[in-house]
Amino acid sequence: MPSRRRSDLSPQRRHPITEAIANRAYELFLARGGEHGHALDDWLKAEQEVLEDIKGHAAARTRSTVQRETNRVAQRSPWTERLRPSKAE
C-alpha cells in the first residue's frame, strides 16, 4: 500500500472569495431563522453581494490610483506650469 503524503491528508483550502460567499450564505441562512431548503438561493444572493462589493472596492482603488498617478505626473511635468492659469497679482 503506498504511503500518503502529508499534503494528501490535510484539507484543501478554499479560495478567499469562495470562503466569503460561504460565510455570507450562512449569515443569510441564520437571518432566515435557519430554515432549510434555500441553500441555492442563499448562495446566489451571497455570491452577488460579495462580487458587487469586490467590484466596488476595485473601482474605488482604480479611481484613486488614476488620480494619484495623474497628480504625480502633473507635479513632475514641465508643461504643468504652462497649463496653469496665471495668478493675478
Alpha-carbon distances of 54 from 32, 70, 87, rounded to whole Å: 25, 24, 43
89: pLDDT strictly greater than 70: no
d(CA 49, CA 63): 21
pTM of the model as a whole: 0.58
What is residue 77's predicted lDDT score, i.e. its pLDDT? 60
Domain boundaries, the chain: 14-77
| Dihedral sign for Cα atoms in the order 67, 69, 71, 74 | negative
d(CA 56, CA 3): 47
Q: pLDDT grade, residue 63 (50/70/90)? A: confident
Q: What is the mean pLDDT of residues 66-84?
A: 65
